[in-house]
Amino acid sequence: MSPATPAADPNTGGGEFGLIRRHFQRPATTQPTAVALGIGDDCALLRPAPGYQLAVSSDMLVAGRHFFADVAPQTLGHKALAVNLSDLAAMGARPLGFTLALALPELDDPWLAAFAQGLFALADAHACPLVGGDTTRGPLNICITVLGEVLPGQALRRDAAQAGDDLYLSGQVGEARLALECLRGTPWATEHCGPEALARLRERLERPTPRLALGQALAGVARAAIDVSDGLASDLGHILQASRLGAELAPDEWALAPELRALPEPQRLECLLNGGDDYELLFTAPMAARSAVAGAAAASGTPVQRIGRLTPEPGLRLREPSGRLRPWTASGWDHFA
Ligand code: ADP
Ligand code: MG
């Protein structure tokens, strides 16, 4: 779109076009990709493999809401793409490319260089090229759209779970939330985390790992999946609602970080069930698929734990060590709640 004020002269090396050229336009790679035409024209042209469906998802990160405005730009570049790739992973899709819409308060070359470094390190690790975008002046805001491909019938949809399915989780949850509480100075969190623990937990908050290899290995194996961005209980709630089911979880049996294990139960459950920003995959599969799930975990080098099962009765219940079932109401992130 044409700006309200004239753009700076692109030939000076400054301005919008110089910025794109310096930081986001890269030499064509020799690796085969799905990109027929990349940055520089009115549209990019992509070529999904014949017979595949296109998977598309956007995530916007707003300063002050999704991240601290003074966060290291390299970290922000990583996270902005990671949260989007996580959505492709949760669909079982393979990434083809992404676009980047950026609002920047000012042209800050060192900031942009570091942002681009974090962004491209992750993009290159997953062979997911930047194919276009938009750049404007405004309060810091980053919107990425990822494009991927998946075979028809193999996408891991939220409405595909069935009663009796096992419920699985990649990695562990709760660490990102504990890190956030430590950074906010919440006493129950800081009491349980020394500087070394915080450094490790903070990595989990700021540099999440999108579980792409696992997601693709689960396509055609698992039934339903979602990535844990807003909190396990509320994200699981989306599967339960779409599939019209309930679930039983036994959090006392889950693998979890020692700092979480040490918390009093209410805070531990708060981190495990309501904490967001984990970007782990939560998925269901029939009991008959247990060895296939283990195979997908091994093939993708991703730890996976079984954390519960789906029930025909609606609602979410926690199974206590005594066997007693306790109802649980989710209260994850909702920007308009
Ligand atoms: P248009 O006027 O057609 O919207 P622009 O002048 O905004 O095009 O952008 C020029 C080219 O640069 C386009 O190919 C666009 O996709 C690309 N582009 C703009 N901003 C970015 C960005 N932040 N990252 C990657 N590519 C970008
Ligand atoms: Mg534009």
Per residue in 232-284, pLDDT tens? 999 999 999 999 999 999 999 999 999 999 999 999 999 999 998 999 999 99
Q: By three-state DSSP, how is residue 290 classified?
A: helix
Place of tokens 């959090």: 251
Name the residue of 1, 21, 134 to mutate for ligand 1: max ligand atoms within 8 A of Cβ. 134
Query: Cα(146) to centroid of ligand 1, in Å?
Result: 16
pLDDT at residue 10 tops 70 = no
Rounded Cα–Cα distance for residues 237 and 329 (Å): 10
**Of the residues 1, 2, 20, which should be mutated to test ligand 1's pocket, given the most ligand atoms within 8 Å of the CB?**
20
CA of 136 to the centre of ligand 2 (A): 8
Structure tokens belonging to residue 198: 């915080």
Residue nearest to atom 18 of ligand 1 (CA): 133
Ligand 1 centroid from CA 260, angstroms: 44
Q: Which residues surround ligand 2, an ion (CB under 5 A)?
A: 134
Band of pLDDT at residue 31, cut at 50, 70 and 90: confident
pLDDT in tens, 46-87: 999 999 999 999 999 999 988 888 889 999 999 999 999 999
What is the set of domains in the chain, with CATH numbers? 9-150 (3.30.1330.10), 158-327 (3.90.650.10)
**Ligand 1 pocket member 102 (CB < 6 A):** yes
CA distance 337 to 328: 18
Residue 293 is predicted with a pLDDT of 98
- Please give the angle made by the CA atoms of 150, 154 and 157, to the nearest 5 degrees: 100
CA 112 to chain centre: 22
Distance 98 CA to ligand 1 centre (A): 12
C-alpha distances out from residue 90 to 32, 83, 100, 150, Å: 24, 11, 21, 11
Residue 318 CB less than 6 A away from ligand 1: no
Predicted structure pTM score: 0.93
- Distance in angstroms (rounded) separating the CA atoms of residues 23 and 80: 16
Q: Worst-scoring range by mean pLDDT, 3-17, 61-75, 306-320? A: 3-17
With beta carbons less than 8 A apart as the criterion, state whether 232 and 269 touch: no
Query: Looking at the predicted structure, is the pLDDT value of residue 12 above 80?
Result: no
**149-181: per-residue pLDDT in tens?**
999 999 999 999 999 999 999 999 999 999 999
pLDDT band at 2 (very low <50, low <70, confident <90, very high): low
Distance 224 CA to ligand 2 centre (A): 36
The beta-strand segments (E) located in the chain are 35-37, 45-46, 53-62, 94-104, 130-137, 141-150, 166-170, 225-227, 246-249, 281-285, 304-311, 315-319, 325-327
Cβ(24) – ligand 1 distance below 6 Å: yes
Specify whether the CB–CB gap between 211 and 306 falls below 8 A: no
Number of Cβ within a 10 Å radius of residue 6:
8
Residue 9 has pLDDT above 60, yes or no: no
